Amino acid sequence: MTDNINIDLEDVAQSCNLYDGGSQDVISSIDALKSKYAEEELVLIYNYMLSKSQNPDVLMHLIRCCDEYRKSSTLEYLVDILLLKNVSGCEDDLKEKFLNVRIMCAKAIGNMKDTNVVTSLLYCLNNKNENYRVRLACADALGKIGDKYAVAPLIEVVKDENEKSVYLKEGATVALGLLGDVRALDPLVSIIETKQGIMDKFSFLKERAIEALDKMGFGGNDRVFRALKSSLSDESPLVRIDAIEAMMNSEHPQAFDTIKNVLENDRDEEVKKNALIALYNMSDRTILDEVISSPKYSDNLKMSAVEIINEYERDENDD
């Protein structure tokens, strides 16, 4: 269809002062093109400018424009920028801007969900000399694309004890949850089973691992359930809350009694409230009436039970 489009791309680039204009002037000129050209023509123009511009602000704007249309013809230009094939050596004060351009490229690539770019994303992910933010953006993109070829490399990132960036591990963990491959079960469980070192400092990595397991639907896997049960003793209330939710969704035969124990014995009122909601979702109003009538529960928890009755039970009666 694009064969019938006859545009002098270089002439358009010159009219926008692409090579020597100020960033805002060039960006305004690019925006003005929308009133002159149809979608297919605009994509061709954006692609051409992506291959020619060396201005990080302009490139960032062009990537956003391309992300609106998400055409497969744009992929090769985005990949070239991600891999720095289209960017000549830049001064130190521009390095941070070009870093952000590459991160935006990875995000736009992920939004297009094209498996043809998985190899390029993996190349950046596996390059330990690469900036961790670029590697993180690539991990996120791999999760969005959903290609099973990425599972093994993402698992390696999660398992790598020498990986310095916990944020990258977090991104790889989230991506594995999106991919939903059972090969990731053991390494994700290993994260939440860890009792020392980096895990104590960055409990959010445990949170992401539990959320990933929940997304994957571990069912009756006893090792996963044991790890979640152990997480109910974690120092972080957020880890305990995530473990409760994962148990609630698991349909494991011991889930109800295990969460009931949290309701009765956890030291944090917010954790107890989440346990109450989970138990209500797993059964019926009986648990709410029990909390309201029993002296062993706090006034705050009783109030939470009343709020749930007023909010959920009334809605059901209205229906």
Tens-digit pLDDT string for the chain (319 aa): 344 567 899 999 999 999 999 999 999 999 999 999 999 999 999 999 999 999 999 999 999 999 999 999 999 999 999 998 766 555 566 788 899 999 999 999 999 999 999 999 999 999 989 999 999 999 999 999 999 999 999 999 999 988 888 889 999 999 999 999 999 999 999 988 876 444 455 688 899 999 999 998 877 789 999 999 999 999 899 999 999 999 999 989 999 999 999 999 999 999 999 999 999 999 988 999 999 999 999 999 999 999 998 887 665 555 5
262 φ/ψ angles, rounded to the nearest 5 degrees:
-65, -45
Angle at 11 between CA 7 and CA 17, to 5 degrees: 135
pTM (two decimals): 0.82
Q: Where are the beta strands (DSSP E) in the chain?
A: none
Q: Which residues contact 19 (CB under 8 A, 6 or more apart)?
A: 13, 52, 53
Q: Is residue 164 part of a domain?
A: no
Instruction: Estimate the crossing angle of helix 222-231 against helix 185-193, to 10 degrees.
Output: 30
Q: Give the CB-side neighbour count of residue 273, counting CA atoms within 13 A.
A: 14
Domain that residue 307 falls in:
219-319
Q: Is residue 151 part of a domain?
A: no
Q: Is residue 80 part of a domain?
A: yes
In angstroms, the CA 169 to CA 175 distance is: 10
Last residue of a domain, one of 61, 96, 112: 112
Nearest Cα neighbor of 179 from 206, 205, 153 is: 153
Q: Is residue 254 part of a domain?
A: yes
In angstroms, the CA 216 to CA 143 distance is: 13
Question: What is the pLDDT, as a whole number, of residue 161?
Answer: 85
Q: Is residue 295 part of a domain?
A: yes
Question: What is the pLDDT, as a whole number, of residue 91?
Answer: 59
Query: What is the DSSP secondary structure assignment for residue 241, as one 8-state letter?
Result: H
Q: Check which CATH number belongs to the domain holding 264 and give it.
A: 1.25.10
In angstroms, the CA 109 to CA 258 distance is: 43
Question: What is the pLDDT, as a whole number, of residue 317?
Answer: 54
Buried b (16+ CB within 10 A) or exposed e, 65-90: bbbeeebeebbebbbbbbeeebbeee
Q: Is residue 193 part of a domain?
A: no
Last residue of a domain, one of 112, 137, 163: 112
Q: Is residue 32 part of a domain?
A: yes
In angstroms, the CA 166 to CA 187 distance is: 15
Q: Is residue 195 part of a domain?
A: no
In angstroms, the CA 278 to CA 32 distance is: 53
Q: State how many domains the chain has.
A: 2
In angstroms, the CA 249 to CA 246 distance is: 5
Question: What is the pLDDT, as a whole number, of residue 197?
Answer: 46
Last residue of a domain, one of 96, 112, 128: 112
